[in-house]
Amino acid sequence: MSTIDYSEKIPNNVNLSEDRRLQRALEKWQPAFLGWWDQMGPEGSSNHEVFLRTAIDVSAKGWAHFDMVKMPDYRWGIFLADKEEDRKIGFGNHKGQDVWQEVPGEYRSELRRLIVTQGDTEPASVEQQRYLGLSCPSNYDLRSLFQVNVEEGRHLWAMVYLLHAYFGRDGREEAEEMLLRHSGDVDKPRILEAFNVPTEDWLSFFMFTFFQDRDGKFQLTSLAESGFDPLSRSCRFMLTEEAHHMFVGESGVGRVVERSAQLSAEHDTLEIGRHGGIPLAMIQKWINFHFSICLDLFGQEKSTNAANFYSMGLKGRYNENKIEDDHLLNNDGFLVPDLQNGKVIMSEISALTAINERLRNDYRDDCQKGVDRWNRIIEKANVDFKLTLPHIAFNRNIGTFQDSNFDLEGNLISAEEFAANKDTWMPNSKDREFVKSLMQRVVEPGKIAGWIAPPSRGIQGKDIEYEYVILH
């Protein structure tokens, strides 16, 4: 079992004190991180005491400890899952060889690129969610937001450690750049576009933690297959924390859906805005937007970069070891969507170049399971409405469909028709203003805003009425 040493300035389970040069470099980066957190982290939260979960070891059982903590005192650090003895590379040209403990020189730039892209998303989401604490629907939800925020901060630490420990000066410079780019910044935006969109209301936050963090789950699971063992071990531990973020998202949207369905049944109308609820049709518009922008996060349907990452042994597929093939893919095919004669059809291409699309399909199927659970909530309330995921061609800015326009069902339409219907398919300024108007801050323990149902249970055995965040 790999216990985390909290006596160190930077808590870790990688024996950081044995590498003085690396320790000094990270201790130099630490004040810059804390400065970024103070400037770009949750607004007005520095004196709050929060019931936070902190890792104490990385074993499957008992990896988390709960206590009241002031967020600037949260012990961010470097935690890798336990080393798996005799682990072999499971795919690509190096399949069957021992995993790498050092960066393979021929793949240095590709590996660094993967780590930087993943690392950049972590502080981006904190920046996107910076002001949400000022409009929280309950004390419970405020705590959930802060838990997500501190863990995204720790995920940044995970990637920064890899950059510092294995990439020398280039890695240190990339780590510095992580704190200089900012979500939505005109001059230095975050790398991926979905992480430059502000999260200004709690419906968007719940959608973000359902859709964007679910993308994180699939990316991290693929990176956890990596032949570069330190990256694999970092991602395996990050996944234990990512699961909580998705729970916040799915349960959060579910509670909004539950309250909206209750109000719809109570007043016998889907138009519940005047009754203080978010109409189910409006929730659908948020789904259409978040799902479509997250599909772009997986990249091109046909990708030589993805093929190269796979063949190099740097990034696998989702649950690689459960897939029954040769894990080389040199002679395998895979169906990807294509546009021919105005219709979306499936065409077979090399399975190697279709790695992105396979991962996107896995993601879509996982999202659908959550939507199905939300629909069961609506059915239980006897309300005639069904939430859906839009077609994969809808509102795409990367890949096969980026230069064409499609409706929610995947029918090719003109740019003029898309522009005319855009405000009925995705949140418009009026929708966003309405939802924001409902975002009145509720922080008294046990109280909850009228547009969302209470959680089914509290955290770590505590009651829903527990004071999870003590405001000072």
Closest CA to 114 of 66, 174, 42, 71: 174
What local confidence, expressed as pLDDT, does residue 472 receive?
80
Compute the average pLDDT of residues 231-260. Answer: 95
What local confidence, expressed as pLDDT, does residue 106 receive?
97
What local confidence, expressed as pLDDT, does residue 62 receive?
58
Residue recorded with tokens 């003109």 = 414
Residue with the larger pLDDT of the pair 314 and 62: 314
Packing angle, helices 108-128 and 139-166, rounded to 10: 160
**pLDDT of 138 strictly over 80:** yes
Compute the average pLDDT of residues 153-166. Answer: 97
**pLDDT of 348 strictly over 60:** yes
**pLDDT of 329 strictly over 60:** yes
The structure's pTM equals 0.96
Q: Which residues is 343 bridged to in the sheet?
A: 340
Q: pLDDT-derived band of residue 8, with 50, 70 and 90 as boundaries? A: confident
The count of C-alpha atoms lying within 13 angstroms of the C-alpha of 453, restricted to the half-sphere facing its C-beta, is: 17
User: What is the residue extent of each domain of the chain?
Assistant: 16-470
**pLDDT of 395 strictly over 80:** yes
Residue recorded with tokens 């409405």 = 385
What local confidence, expressed as pLDDT, does residue 159 receive?
97
What local confidence, expressed as pLDDT, does residue 58 receive?
76
Compute the average pLDDT of residues 262-270. Answer: 98
What local confidence, expressed as pLDDT, does residue 297 receive?
95
pLDDT tens across 180-218, in order?
999 999 999 999 998 998 899 999 999 999 999 999 999
pLDDT tens across 80-128, in order?
999 999 999 999 999 999 999 999 999 999 999 999 999 999 999 999 9
Cα-based distances in Å from 221 to 104, 122, 158, 183, 235: 21, 16, 15, 24, 7
d(CA 260, CA 279): 6
What local confidence, expressed as pLDDT, does residue 174 receive?
97
Inter-residue contact 152 to 127 (CB < 8 Å):
no
pLDDT tens across 57-78, in order?
777 665 678 999 998 899 999 9
The CATH class for the domain spanning 16-470 reads: mainly alpha
